[in-house]
Chains A and B, each alone.
Chain A
Amino acid sequence: MKRWQALFITAGVSLVFLVFFIYPAVSVLSEAFRGSDGSFTMAYVVEVFRNPVYVEGLINALLLGVVSTLATLMLALPLALMSHRYDFMGRKLLSALILVPLVLPPFVGAIGLTHVLSVTGSLNALLIDLGLMDPDRRIDWLANGKFWGIVVMNALHLYPILYMNIVAALANMDPAMEQAAENLGASPTRRLFRITLPLAMPGIFAGSSIVFIWAFTELGVPLVFNYTRVAPVQVFQGIRDLGQNPSPYALVAVVLLISATVFAVTKFFFGRNTSGAQPRPKGRDSEIRLTGVKSLGAAMVFAAVFLIASIPHAGVVILALADDWYDSIVPYVWTLDHFKEALGDPLVVPSIENSLIYSSIATIAATVLGLAIAWVVVRGNIRGRGVLDALVMLSREGKPFHFLVTLAGGSPILLLIASYAIRRLPYVVRAAVAGLQQSNPAMEEAARSLGAGPLRTLRKISLPLIGANVAAGSILAFAFSMLEVSDSLVLAQQAKDYPITKAIYTLLSTLGNGHELAAALGVWAMVFLGVAIIGATRLGGKKGGLFKM
């Protein structure tokens, strides 16, 4: 690749980010510091910390972040250590299954979870059936402002992120590191605490910071639980009268500052590569093959986590199929009416069309941008690589940044599409980078030496070589755009522009069978997502690598 080509691509990508991402973000941020007369002011930020409602919202968001992260860690760490050290029956299948919850939309799952955990929900009905609960003294699992419902949903949705980070950290470690400790007299427990965990710390913290920022800025799940005393929801509700009250801008600035600090601190302390100076041949693995009861036990732990993590989504399916689901473990009467009725709703069909259009455009944009970025990152040898890496990281880790973008106003639908594209960009980049790294540059050089120009080489050699990878990344980008929540809720303000998720959210708040209709639409969405992901996996993703954060 020639230097000017790499520079050209870098400049182009930077421009796109500048126009659709950085400029809106900066303009929103500046709103937080601009007084009514246009001069700089800290008044709004000060107001955020003085207003007890905002302070409570921030504290609740922080608590949600911390508690969700701890809950996630409790699920993910034992699973990761088990799959690192032991081989047991069905491990391959089970360790793939437990990743599934990550791709199920939590916003939809939350609808199911509210029905499972409510006073007259499945859990209480089950406990009463088993004689463990007095029907007259039921526990309201969703009391205390639904806090624990959100934590449970976050943990069940986000634990795969942490699991994959820890497993990757453990897998990168030379197995001889642990064997050397054993060889020098450390018992398995001592080895775990002195060698394995310290070496996995970067992975644990990297994963934890992603989970924290995710839970801290989560909008969809608290909305479904109707938990309004948390910062992201307060921002969402403040959008309508931003004209009179600009403090939501300031609130966003504070949320952003906290997220960026957490991210930067983690990167600073744990971002270094601690796996050793240079790559060397690794020693042999010494995982223990479990047999008999132990093997079954380990498999059961994995299966149990998967089953528990699918409860919210099972709840959605049941709700969509239930004629009347009240105070019983599962409904007594089943029906398909909700599916028909949902499709008849004036909101639904246009919203599906909208989502298809938005997501298609966003996917094409993400694919072109992603390919260009991957090309420079893998093949170009210039400083621009650093810029592109940073931009991709921004779009990957920058969930809170999207909040800013979405508040920028202007042409909301164009921004929404841009936001879809930029946020799903990492899927394409990762897939294309993986493809390019696997294919030998000599294959391209051979084509060049035989007289093919750069474009012909791209079309005839490179693209066919990495086509499957890129297609897989694009399918994922498309699927996740279809089910994007927070930007969709914020940016689509007019009913005719609603994407699917906003339609689901609107249905939720309609009286009568709104929840059942929303669930029915949610089931459609999950089926669509499932098909897309299976397709993507078959095309190019091995070992769930496509979904690594």
Chain B
Amino acid sequence: MDAIRAEDIVKKFGSVTALDGVSLEVAAGELFFLLGSSGCGKTTLLRSIAGLETPTSGKIHFGDREVTRLPPHKREAAMVFQSYALWPHMTVAKNVAFGLEERKVPKQEIESRVREALQLVHLGAMAERGVDQLSGGQQQRVALARALVVRPKCLLLDEPLSNLDAKLRLEMRREIRRIVKEGGLTAIYVTHDQEEALEMADRMAVLNGGRIEQLGAPTEVYRSPRTSFVAGFIGETNLIRATVSEVRDGYAMTECSAGLIVGRIADPEWTPSPGDTVMVSVRPEAWQIDNGAGSVITGKIRARSYLGRSIRYEVETVVGVQQVVELNPEVLREPGDAEVKLTARHSDVVVMKD
């Protein structure tokens, strides 16, 4: 297994810049996620690593080997395509055997490796089927087996689950992570589904407008978003603009028209000074209504949605409507003109650059 390193990748399509100087390093054996909304450049980055696009500038390394200009068929980076791209004129087994045949693997070995690969994805009995006879989930697994069977230096997955129904998607998340981890593979996985990334990734990079906004482990990205884009894209958040009044021990006290809010400073390389305008992010589940200790603002409940395991309230405050989610709620609160107190623990509030 190789580590993958991308250095300052720029990719332009005509006048459009799809990637604007992206650098990242994926460690050997790591399951790494590229996450972003459509058009952010995540697929272009993946295709550049696969060799299906050539970067306008920048370098890509697999281990010690530079592969930037290498054609795709010499890269040993197997890809699972969003559309699966199974060849309809070949059986399941033939599809899976293709890469081995191209590598001139002896016939007997091909047979046994194809069998193993199909067993790994629980499709041992389907070898002689035509690919059109399979369900979406089965096709997805054939595509995975086809990529895995060549024992690639790295596995590239382009939104592999986006064509499956919700239940199957949950199942396949665990399945793919199991296969990648059991094989000790280096894998890069592109998705726009933040839940998928949070559940599966070792580390992830959030892309926006052709740049990496933040790179880190899922807990880190969720707990300590460094930009308001990341805070809003990974999960949901309430953003309040405020002015710094005091900074101490990685915490900042800020002032907004609703009062004082204390929060963690997410970016260790950044220290705001008193007087700076910053953005304060409070997750809906971090607000508590008439309960707990911490920073307090007041408001009125304007609307309520009952979601079963949780309740969502919209609370009107002087700094805008706050989304508040109560998990496993004890009481149902009625919308009305009564004033309520919203409280957030200092460690649950994140202070970031405006």
Which residues of chain A have a CB within 8 Å of any CB of chain B?
174, 176-177, 179-187, 190-191, 194-195, 198-199, 201, 274-277, 280-284, 286
Q: How far is the CB of B237 from chain A (nearest CB, A)?
A: 30
Which residues of chain B have a CB within 8 Å of any CB of chain A?
43, 47, 50-53, 71-79, 81-89, 98-99, 102-103, 131-132, 134, 139, 146-147, 150, 158, 162-163
In contact, B83 and A281 (Cβ under 8 angstroms)? yes
In contact, B73 and A180 (Cβ under 8 angstroms)? no
In contact, B83 and A184 (Cβ under 8 angstroms)? no
With A180-B81, A185-B99 in contact, do A284 and B47 touch (Cβ < 8 Å)?
yes
Q: Which of A187, A198, A283, A286 is packed against the most chain B CB atoms within 10 Å? A: A283
Query: Out of A199, A277, A282, which one reaches B87, CB within 8 Å?
Result: A199
In contact, B88 and A182 (Cβ under 8 angstroms)? no
Q: For the complex, give the distance between the alpha carbons of A305 and B139 in Å.
A: 42
Beyond contacts A183-B78, A286-B53: 8 other A-B pairs, Cβ-Cβ < 8 A, are A179-B81, A179-B85, A184-B98, A186-B73, A186-B102, A276-B83, A283-B82, A283-B85
In contact, A180 and B89 (Cβ under 8 angstroms)? no
Q: How far is the CB of B75 from chain A (nearest CB, A)?
A: 8
Q: For the complex, give the distance between the alpha carbons of A103 and B101 in Å.
A: 45
Q: How far is the CB of B143 from chain A (nearest CB, A)?
A: 8
Q: How far is the CB of A279 from chain B (nearest CB, A)?
A: 10
Q: For the complex, give the distance between the alpha carbons of A247 and B181 in Å.
A: 77
With A180-B79, A284-B47 in contact, do A185 and B85 touch (Cβ < 8 Å)?
no
Query: Out of B43, B72, B132, which one reaches A183, CB within 8 Å?
Result: B72
Q: Which residues of A contact B85 (CB under 8 A)?
A: 174, 176-177, 179-180, 283
Q: For the complex, give the distance between the alpha carbons of A131 and B88 in Å.
A: 55
In contact, A177 and B73 (Cβ under 8 angstroms)? no
11 contacts between A and B (CB under 8 A): A179-B81, A180-B79, A180-B85, A181-B73, A181-B98, A182-B72, A183-B77, A183-B78, A187-B73, A194-B98, A284-B43
With A179-B72, A190-B102, A286-B52 in contact, do A184 and B87 touch (Cβ < 8 Å)?
no
In contact, B88 and A274 (Cβ under 8 angstroms)? yes
In contact, A183 and B88 (Cβ under 8 angstroms)? no
In contact, A274 and B81 (Cβ under 8 angstroms)? no
Q: For the complex, give the distance between the alpha carbons of A71 and B131 in Å.
A: 35
Q: For the complex, give the distance between the alpha carbons of A182 and B86 in Å.
A: 13
5 closest A-B pairs by CB = A184-B99, A176-B85, A185-B102, A176-B81, A180-B85
Look across to chain A and name the residue whose beta carbon is closest to the beta carbon of B149. Answer: A184
Look across to chain B and name the residue whose beta carbon is closest to the beta carbon of A175. Answer: B85
In contact, A280 and B163 (Cβ under 8 angstroms)? yes
Q: For the complex, give the distance between the alpha carbons of A515 and B243 in Å.
A: 93
Q: For the complex, give the distance between the alpha carbons of A317 and B354 in Å.
A: 74
Q: Which residues of B contact A198 (CB under 8 A)?
A: 87, 89
Interface contact tally, CB-CB below 8 A:
98
Look across to chain A and name the residue whose beta carbon is closest to the beta carbon of B158. Answer: A283
Q: How far is the CB of A480 from chain B (nearest CB, A)?
A: 36
Q: How far is the CB of B43 from chain A (nearest CB, A)?
A: 8
In contact, B52 and A274 (Cβ under 8 angstroms)? no
Q: Which residues of A contact B77 (CB under 8 A)?
A: 183
In contact, A184 and B78 (Cβ under 8 angstroms)? yes
Q: For the complex, give the distance between the alpha carbons of A98 and B73 in Å.
A: 33
Q: How far is the CB of B109 from chain A (nearest CB, A)?
A: 15
In contact, B73 and A199 (Cβ under 8 angstroms)? no
Look across to chain A and name the residue whose beta carbon is closest to the beta carbon of B53. Answer: A286
Q: How far is the CB of B158 from chain A (nearest CB, A)?
A: 8
Q: Which of B71, B72, B162 is packed against the most chain A CB atoms within 10 Å? A: B72
In contact, A184 and B81 (Cβ under 8 angstroms)? no
Q: Which residues of A contact B163 (CB under 8 A)?
A: 280-281
Look across to chain B and name the residue whose beta carbon is closest to the beta carbon of A195. Answer: B87
Q: Which residues of B contact A182 (CB under 8 A)?
A: 51-52, 71-73
Q: For the complex, give the distance between the alpha carbons of A286 and B51 in Å.
A: 10
Q: How far is the CB of B169 from chain A (nearest CB, A)?
A: 15
Q: Which residues of B contact A181 (CB under 8 A)?
A: 73, 87, 98
Q: Which residues of B contact A176 (CB under 8 A)?
A: 81-85
In contact, B82 and A276 (Cβ under 8 angstroms)? no
Q: Which residues of A contact B139 (CB under 8 A)?
A: 277
Look across to chain B and name the residue whose beta carbon is closest to the beta carbon of A277. Answer: B132
Query: Out of B83, B98, B131, which one reaches A280, CB within 8 Å?
Result: B83
Q: How far is the CB of A400 from chain B (nearest CB, A)?
A: 31
Look across to chain B and name the residue whose beta carbon is closest to the beta carbon of A274. Answer: B88
Q: Which residues of A contact B82 (CB under 8 A)?
A: 176, 280-281, 283
Look across to chain B and name the residue whose beta carbon is closest to the beta carbon of A275. Answer: B88
Q: Which residues of A contact B78 (CB under 8 A)?
A: 183-184
In contact, B52 and A183 (Cβ under 8 angstroms)? yes
Q: How far is the CB of B2 from chain A (nearest CB, A)?
A: 16
Q: Which residues of B contact A286 (CB under 8 A)?
A: 52-53
Q: How far is the CB of B238 from chain A (nearest CB, A)?
A: 34
Query: Out of A177, A185, A190, A201, which one reaches B150, CB within 8 Å?
Result: A185
Query: Out of B53, B73, B83, B134, which one reaches A185, CB within 8 Å?
Result: B73
Q: How far is the CB of A44 from chain B (nearest CB, A)?
A: 44
Q: For the complex, give the distance between the alpha carbons of A181 and B86 in Å.
A: 10
Q: For the complex, give the distance between the alpha carbons of A116 and B89 in Å.
A: 45
Q: For the complex, give the distance between the alpha carbons of A185 and B102 in Å.
A: 6
Q: How far is the CB of B291 from chain A (nearest CB, A)?
A: 46
Look across to chain A and name the residue whose beta carbon is closest to the beta carbon of B72. Answer: A182
Q: For the complex, give the distance between the alpha carbons of A355 and B134 in Å.
A: 56
Q: Which residues of B contact A191 (CB under 8 A)?
A: 73
Q: Which residues of A contact B53 (CB under 8 A)?
A: 286
With A183-B77, A276-B88 in contact, do A283 and B83 touch (Cβ < 8 Å)?
yes
Q: For the complex, give the distance between the alpha carbons of A85 and B52 in Å.
A: 13
Q: Which residues of B contact A180 (CB under 8 A)?
A: 79, 81, 85, 87, 146
Q: For the complex, give the distance between the alpha carbons of A187 and B76 in Å.
A: 13
Q: Which of A190, A198, A276 is packed against the most chain B CB atoms within 10 Å? A: A276
Q: For the complex, give the distance between the alpha carbons of A284 and B85 in Å.
A: 12
Q: How far is the CB of A193 from chain B (nearest CB, A)?
A: 12
Q: Which residues of A contact B147 (CB under 8 A)?
A: 183-184
Look across to chain B and name the residue whose beta carbon is closest to the beta carbon of A191. Answer: B73
Q: Which residues of B contact A190 (CB under 8 A)?
A: 102
Q: For the complex, give the distance between the alpha carbons of A146 and B43 in Å.
A: 58
In contact, B102 and A184 (Cβ under 8 angstroms)? yes
With A176-B81, A281-B83, A283-B81 in contact, do A183 and B73 touch (Cβ < 8 Å)?
yes
Q: Which residues of A contact B71 (CB under 8 A)?
A: 182
Q: Which of A177, A182, A185 is packed against the most chain B CB atoms within 10 Å? A: A185
Q: Which residues of A contact B50 (CB under 8 A)?
A: 179, 183
Q: Which residues of A contact B87 (CB under 8 A)?
A: 177, 180-181, 195, 198-199
In contact, A184 and B88 (Cβ under 8 angstroms)? no
Q: For the complex, give the distance between the alpha carbons of A274 and B139 in Å.
A: 15
